[in-house]
Structure 1
Amino acid sequence: MRKRGGRKSASPRFCLRTTFFPRAPPLEFKFSLLSGINLLTAIFMVVLGMVAWRLSRGRGLALWMFAMGEWSLLECFQLGAVGIPAKVFWSVIEYLGTLYGAVFYLLFALEFTGLERFVTRRNILLLCIVPTLTLLLAATNHWHHLIWADFTAIDNNRIIYHRGIAWVLGVLSYTYLLIGIATAFLGWSIFRYPMEYKMQSILLIIGVLCPWSANFLYLTNLSPLPGWDATPVAFSVTGALFFYNLFKYQFYDIRPVARDMLVEKMPSGILVLDSQNRIVDYNSAALCFNSIAGENCLGNTIDTFFPNWDNMLQGNAASDNRLEITQNQHHLELNISALHDPNGHLVGRLLIIRDITERKQIELERERLLTELQQAQTEVQTLCGLLPICSHCKKIRDDSGEWTRMEAYIQSRSDAVFTHTFCPECLEKHYPGFAPKMPQNPPQQ
């Protein structure tokens, strides 16, 4: 280590004791305005974390706030500590909040955007591998100087850290990667959620950009106060915006609960498509209709999983409709609702899918029973019953008591078709002059 002005750096033996903490360096503290600002920020972030822990169902936000509070508090100690060894001592502990805070921020973004299924113990452990290794490297920096290559003391009890390759990979690259991914998820929610949730997401992104902009100025030595990392203090802006969201919109508590209760628990499948018929949201029931893998669903067109649906939707582009289709031997009822922006432009579609296979089977069974019943009634009327016939005119009395000609009665109860002619005896008896001219066997009809 070196100080400006040619002073010798501290001995490696002193750094070893500082790193593993068998005996902490002298805790001489020089309070300053910057230390006070960081202390107030730490208190504010811890209070916000406690409120978030109590009000929100997920824990990502609360853990993130606690990590930022730890970062601010240890930055307060680092600023007030006198001497490079003491400052390095507090910087190592400060890395707990710095490194794991990015992980907690990503967990919060996943929970807020409805991707809680990715917040698993396995994924959390994987995300913590790099921060843990980086923290160990910081604690043993005196052996390899991979995190901090050197330190330079400047005025007003501040130092400049000369960082090594492990810091670039483990701190700068990894934490900014997680922050970028999490911010992208929040940005995605701006286009995914209704207007009230869009405002929440915009405020969240503004709150996140403030501290990381301050951190960028610190890392590039563009800060007006060299050696002072204003990132924790900038989190006070983040905290204020988050408090506003918590009490104005009650965000992060209502959204996941409402989605689980109203969408995930619905027996009907729900698919939300954009204007290009790409899947942008779905519930668990929708995955059952065609064995869709959820992780491969988002971003793909509807035709990927439901062939010919794209053409069907194009034919019902801008209107609401109700269709019945057959998919994999299942009868489905498809309700299509067009989604429009405030200007009336089509931005997507909402598809509600219901499996009506059982209802269709019941309808087919009912039609079959009705057909059999009608056939049975016809057979009963045709084959059974005593027929009162007039001995003189040969009319038949029907069920209502009316006397009907025999031909009409039989024809109404069968498929028989009648023709009229003369038998040979009647022809000879009544029309003797025509007997040779009339055919004896008229053509069948």
Structure 2
Amino acid sequence: MLDCFKISKNIIDNLDYFSEIFLLFDFIGYNITLLDKDLNIIYSNWRDLDFVPEKNRIIGEKCYKVLRGLSDICEDCWIDKFNNKYIKDIKFIKKSPVDGKFRDFTIIPIFDRYNIVGYVQIIKVCSEYVEYQKANKEYITLCSKCKKVRDKNEWMSFENYFLRLGLTFSHRLCPDCLKELYPDYSDEIINKRKT
């Protein structure tokens, strides 16, 4: 079984050797950051992270400390969603609270046979998404009748639009629709939701 601490320590102790391997990542045009399971940065090519001062780019430091200057895990951390469950990856687009740019995140867990031992985090600046939002003045166009969303001149359901943005969502009935569809049971269900 892989031991995450040993892997991280081995990489940090032998940084010269691994730096040669990681040089390949430096030629990729977007950010790649390798994290251990405790969110320590094992490697980053620092692309598109120009808001992080050079002096703060510390291998072996917690990602939330380096990227956001926080002393504890980010409140909105998506990595926390894995919780040792096998999920292929998580993708989402997010506006940075630090520099205001939209970024496309892909977080891929690295498993040994049983547990998560680290993560690959890929971050791309979404200039296309930002330009699209600016052109549409930050509005999303909805069909007045069927409520489909227009995205890049293509009409699609909300579900497909959310999937395209990499958002995670679920379905549920609001109280009004619940009463309309299940008038005999709605009050009981609504009361259970409150507890």
Give the TM-score taking structure 2 as reference length. 0.50
Instruction: Figure out how many residues of one structure are paired with residues of the other and give that number.
Output: 122
Using the alignment, how far apart are the partners of 1:255 and 1:306 within structure 2? 21
Task: Determine the structure 1 residue equivalent to 2:129.
Answer: 360
Which one has the bigger strand percentage? 2
Aligned counterpart in structure 1 of residue 22 of structure 2, from 259, 274, 283:
259
Q: Deviations over 1:327-356 (max 9, x none)?
A: 121101110000112x23211111001011
Q: For residues 282 and 316 of structure 1, what CA distance do their matches in structure 2 show? A: 21
Q: Secondary structure at the match of 1:329?
A: coil
Match 2:60 to one of 291, 299, 303: 299
RMSD of the alignment, in Å?
A: 3.6
Match for residue 338 of structure 1 among 95, 109, 124: 109
Structure 1 CA distance, aligned partners of 2:37 and 2:58? 16
For structure 2, the 5+ residue unaligned runs are: 1-5, 69-73, 141-195
Matches of 2:19 and 2:61 in 1, distance apart? 25
Amino acid at match of 1:316: F
1:301: Cα distance to partner? 1.2
Alignment partner of 1:192 out of 5, 11, 35: 11
- 1:306 is displaced (CA, Å) by 3.3
State the alpha-carbon separation in 1 of the partners of residues 58 and 19 from structure 2: 22
Which residue identity lines up with residue 82 of structure 2 in the other structure? N
Three-state SS of the structure 1 residue aligned to 2:82 is coil
- Give 1:151-300 correspondences, 5 Å limit: 191-192=10-11, 256=20, 259-260=22-23, 262-285=24-47, 287-288=49-50, 290-293=51-54, 296-300=57-61
Secondary structure, counterpart of 2:47 in structure 1? helix
TM norm structure 1: 0.24
Distance, in Å, in 1 between the alignment partners of 2:114 and 2:43 is 21
Match for residue 316 of structure 1? Answer: 82
User: What is the CA deviation profile of residues 5-41 of structure 1, one whole-angstrom value per residue up to 9, with x for unaligned ones?
Assistant: xxxxxxxxxxxxxxxxxxxxxxxxxxxxxxxxxxxxx
Task: Pick closer, same or farther for the CA change 1:365–1:294 going to 2, 3 Å.
Answer: same
Give the fraction of aligned pairs with identical amino acids, expressed as a percent.
15
Matched position secondary structure for 1:284 = coil
Larger radius of gyration: 1
Q: What is the deviation of 1:280?
A: 1.4
Task: Kindly state the Cα deviation for residue 188 of structure 1 after the two structures are TM-superposed.
Answer: 7.0
Structure 1: where are the runs of 5+ without partners? 1-186, 194-200, 202-251, 372-445
Classify 1:317/1:270 alpha carbon distance in 2 versus 1 (closer, same or farther; 3 Å). farther
Greater fraction of residues in helix: 1
CA contact (8 A) 1:278 1:299 kept: yes
**Equivalent pair of 1:303/1:309 in contact (CA under 8 Å):** no
Letter in 2 for 1:360: Y
User: 2: distance between equivalents of 1:336 and 1:306?
Assistant: 15
- Residue 280 of structure 1 aligns to which amino acid in structure 2? I
Supply the AA of the counterpart residue of 2:36.
Answer: D
CA distance, structure 2, for counterparts of residue 348 and residue 191 of structure 1: 14
Cα distance in 1 for partners of 2:22, 2:41 equals 17
Which structure has the higher relative contact order (CA within 8 Å, separation 6+)?
A: 2
C-alpha contact (below 8 Å) 1:264/1:283 kept by paired residues: yes
User: Does the 8 Å contact 2:48/2:124 carry over to 1?
Assistant: no
